[in-house]
Amino acid sequence: MERADAAQRATELRERIHRHDYLYYTEARPEVSDAEYDALVRELRALEAEFPDLVTEDSPTQRVAGQPVDTFRPVEHRAAMLSLDNATTAEDLREFEARMRRVLPAADFHYVAEPKIDGLGVALLYERGRFVRGATRGDGRVGEDITANLKTIRSIPMILRGPLAASPDLEVRGEVFMPRAEFAQLNRTLEEAGEPTFANPRNAAAGAVRQKDAAVTARRPLDIFLYHLSAAEGVAFTSYWETLEAMREAGFKTNPRSERCADLDAVIAGCQRLEAERDALGYDADGVVVKVDSLERQRRLGATSHHPRWAIAFKFAARQATTQVEGIEVGVGKTGALTPVAKLTPVELAGVVIRNVSLHNEDEIRKKDVRVGDTVLIERAGDVIPYVVQVVESRRPGGTVPFAFPARCPACGHPTFRPPGEAYWRCMNSACPAQLKERLGHFGSRRTMDIEHLGDAAIEQLVDRGLVRDFADLYGLTVEQVAALERFAEKSAQNLIASIAASRGRGLARLLNALGIRLVGERVAGLLAARFGSVEHLKKASPEELAEVHGIGDEIAQSVVTFFADATNVAVLDRLEEHGVLVTDPEALEGPKPLAGKTFVLTGTLSSLTRDAARDLIMRRGGRVVGSVSKKTDYVVAGESPGGKVDDARRLGVPVLDEAAFVALTGRA
Ligand code: IVH
């Protein structure tokens, strides 16, 4: 191809890819399939490889580019990034308005209220519609240049559209965050890989944003909401609401929950509504930011050295409490990882009594220096499990000592070891009964083989008496053996044996999840079962064949291969099959896939099937189930007494199915 033609084609491809990025990441309404999108990117990469001088800074291929850096360059913000004054009650909000009245007595105030995102404030700079620099808030005056990291966030437009694109110099501010579902998934992956997890989405986002290597940031599921146009040379608006519309038109992602409020009563009602629905937002919000809508009034009100006078943050009730650490116990996980858990003086936190909190690993304990006897501040945010925010140093009693990891496994007495470069101390005894108990607990849990009556007490005794040494042994147990255990009568022994027998037909996906293969959780197990259809096929799969499956990377592929290369594992699977455990997924290969590519959210109670059965059905038919409703959701299935998810669906225009419509859609007879 001639250079001139290549240049023209490259420009065209860049524009199309940017547009598809926008539709997918900001609007959540893609117009092309993944395959079509990938083809465009491949073509652009090929062109740029042939004509390297055609590569532009804002090319979609440059989202992840450049070398890791040692330090971030400091950047001085054009105007200070101020913080916000706080309100915690409706009264505080009325005082906020009264203060403004004193400055502008004749004015009546209209507002915009929107979620206060619990993330990291950033400032993005655009010159003539092109993204040129992004910085952290820093101390408000000087931040750090994190352009390379921000470029990896696909909802940040590289090129603007509409009237804002013409501005020679434009700065927008917003909040980078990690959606809760993605955060949970990231932690599961980290945990399965034996790496330290993050305590909350904010910490995970903060770590990602300040990564020295942008390639790492690119693998972190970050998103952004923009909420402030701090400079826009040559463009003028009269209200914040209008500004938000222009920002949206330019391609920025703004919060769909922003609300225009005619007066303070509407603001207060809006704050209460958002607080009641905070868990359904899909991301952490710690309050509502209330802003005077008129930009002219904003200017006349001005700012103190700390915060603007025209805005205030209404803070949601804190979900924090303080309590004492009565002890630190060390548990042994499925893979032998030792996890320290703080035993707390029970304390109520947002309606739940908290007795234990994980201290994760040695580095976490050291960083926070949690000691037995300490008073700690704990927090429970959204559906995130509680964690220690910090030790209340002023209340530390005399004579405490830093926590030291045990040199021997608390369960089997084997020496413990912390492999270099890893976060966890481990019990190195593969026959450690505590590990086996954890693995059996996982094997029998509701989302895996769902063996009712196989509780901790039963597992404890079955392992301690040498009756169960691996998963397959479960299926050889007799009623007599179980009845001989403590606290088991004839009837309960029969129940356990019956539920073990009933678990044989759960199918391949659940079995694969149950086995506890490193990096293979529910999602990956589902993908493997759907693609390979049997243990037999999976056993023979090469790393390349495994990695070909959409959603399975090299590391997972390697882990699966390693698992099946171990003769002990294969022997257990053979014995499971001999006991009649279903090791295939007949439907996977032949069954109909009417739900392929569709995303579902389940809410309420269905009459003909349990939540788990509905979930399985969707996955078997090729669909996906997620926890909260977004524009990317295809259907919300609503049973009896559904929650706020139905309202979310209506607001976002997502179709809501009742049970009959859902069953019809799956094609289930
Ligand atoms: S407006 C001059 N809107 O909260 C106006 N801030 O405590 C600047 N934040 O530094 C702020 N969500 O990082 C605004 N919807 C929102 C926000 C928001 C989160 C952060 C922001 C700010 C901090 C103040």
519 and 658 co-located in one domain: no
- Best residue among 82, 258, 289 to mutate for probing ligand 1's pocket (most ligand atoms within 8 Å of CB) is 289
- How many Å is the Cα radius of gyration of the chain? 28
Per 3-state DSSP, the chain is made up of helix, strand and coil in percentages (nearest 5) of 40, 20, 40
564, 591, 618 — which closes off a domain? 591
The most confident of 179-193, 250-264, 412-426, by mean pLDDT? 250-264
Which of 116, 257, 306 gets mutated to test ligand 1 (max ligand atoms within 8 A of its CB)? 116
For residue 636, the enclosing domain spans 599-666
Using the CB atoms, write b or e for 170-188: b if 16+ within 10 Å.
bbbbbbbbbbbbbbbebbb
CATH number at residue 653: 3.40.50.10190
C-alpha 262/C-alpha 259 separation (Å) is 10
Q: Is residue 583 part of a domain?
A: yes
User: Is residue 152 domain-resident?
Assistant: yes
What confidence score (pLDDT) does residue 543 get?
Answer: 92
Burial class of 136 by CB neighbour count within 10 A (0 to 12, 13 to 18, 19+) = buried
Gap from CA of 114 to ligand 1 centroid (Å): 10
- Please compute the mean of the pLDDT values over residues 442-470 and round it to a whole number: 95
Q: Could you read off the pLDDT of 40-67 as tens digits, one per residue?
A: 999 999 999 999 999 998 899 988 877 7
Q: Is the pLDDT of residue 613 over 80?
A: no
Cβ atoms 611, 602 nearer than 8 A? yes
List pLDDT tens digits, range 518-556.
889 988 998 899 888 899 999 999 998 898 777 788 889
- Which two structure tokens, joined as six digits, stand for 230? 């701090």
Domain boundary among 262, 285, 315: 315
Residue 561, in any domain of the structure:
yes
The residue among 315, 341, 370 that closes a domain is: 315
More confident residue, 542 or 194: 542
On the question of pLDDT at 503 being above 80, the answer is yes
Residue 415 is predicted with a pLDDT of 93
Q: Tell me: do 160 and 298 sit in the same domain.
A: yes
528 and 556 share one domain = yes
In a domain, 657, yes or no: yes
Same domain, 336 and 235: no
Q: Which atom of ligand 1 is nearest to the CA of 307?
A: 2
Whether 75 is in a domain gets the answer no
Q: What is the CATH number of the domain that holds 89?
A: 3.30.470.30
CATH of the domain at 458: 1.10.150.20
What is the strand order of the sheet 599-603 is part of?
624-625, 599-603, 635-638, 656-657
Give residue 382's pLDDT.
60
My answer on whether 298 and 339 are in the same domain is no
- Rounded to the nearest whole angstrom, what is the distance from the C-alpha of residue 253 to the centroid of ligand 1? 15
The dihedrals phi and psi of 391, each to the nearest 5 degrees, come to -85, 140
Which of 312, 302, 249, 246 has its CA nearest to residue 111?
312
If asked whether residues 94 and 243 sit together in one domain, one would say: yes
Q: Are 56 and 62 in contact (CB under 8 A)?
A: yes
- Say how many C-beta atoms besides its own lie within 10 A of residue 476's C-beta: 13
Distances in Å between the Cα of 157 and the Cα atoms of 21, 77, 597 are: 8, 20, 26
Work out the average pLDDT over 600-608. 89
Q: How far is the CA of 89 from the centre of ligand 1 (A)?
A: 19
- Name the DSSP class of 337: B
How many angstroms does the Cα of residue 81 sit away from the middle of ligand 1?
A: 9
The 3-state DSSP class for residue 148 equals helix
The answer on 333 and 289 residing in a single domain is: no
What is the reported pLDDT for 589? 60
> Which residue, by CA, sits nearest to atom 23 of ligand 1?
83
Same domain (yes/no): 248, 129: yes
Atom of ligand 1 nearest to the CA of 255: 15
Residues 248/254, Cβ–Cβ less than 8 Å: yes
Q: Which residue, among 551, 560, 634, 620, has the nearest Cα to 587 in the 3D structure?
A: 620
Residue ranges around ligand 1 (CB below 6 Å): 81-84, 114, 116-117, 121, 175, 227-228, 289, 308, 311, 313
Q: Please tell me the predicted confidence (pLDDT) of residue 669.
A: 54
The tokens describing 325, both together, are 């650490």
pLDDT at 384: 65
Q: For residue 120, give the ligand 1 atom closest to its CA.
A: 13
- pLDDT category of residue 615 using cuts at 50, 70 and 90: confident
**CATH number, domain with residue 367:** 2.40.50.140
Q: What is the mean pLDDT of residues 411-432?
A: 90
Please give the full DSSP string across 469-531, using - where no structure is assigned: SSHHHHTT--HHHHHTSTT--HHHHHHHHHHHHHGGGS-HHHHHHHTT-TT--HHHHHHHHHH
Query: Is residue 420, in this structure, part of any structural domain at all?
Result: no
Question: Does any domain span residue 419?
Answer: no
At residue 667, the pLDDT reads 81
Q: Which residues of 512-534 are buried (b: 16+ CB within 10 A; e: fewer)?
A: bbbbbbbbbbbbbbbbbbbbbbb
Between 548 and 594, the more confident residue is 594
* Average pLDDT rounded to a whole number, residues 603-618: 82
pLDDT in tens, 426-437: 998 878 999 999
Locate 85 and state its tokens: 């004054």
The residue whose CA has the least distance to atom 22 of ligand 1 is 83
458 and 580 part of one domain: yes
Mean pLDDT computed over 378-394: 84
Structurally, the chain folds into a number of domains equal to 5
Task: Extract the tokens encoding 401.
Answer: 């000592």
Contact indicator for 180, 283 with CB cutoff of 8 Å: yes
Identify the pLDDT of residue 265. 97
413 assigned to some structural domain: no
Q: Are residues 445 and 540 in the same domain?
A: yes
User: What local confidence, expressed as pLDDT, does residue 397 receive?
Assistant: 95
Question: Hey, which of 274-283, 293-302, 421-430 has the most confident mean pLDDT?
Answer: 293-302
Kindly state whether residues 612 and 494 are assigned to the same domain. no
Residues assigned a catalytic role = 116
The pLDDT of residue 557 is: 94
Average pLDDT of the segment spanning 74-99: 94
Q: Are residues 15 and 117 in the same domain?
A: no
Distance 258 CA to ligand 1 centre (A): 13
Q: CB neighbours (10 Å) of residue 367?
A: 11
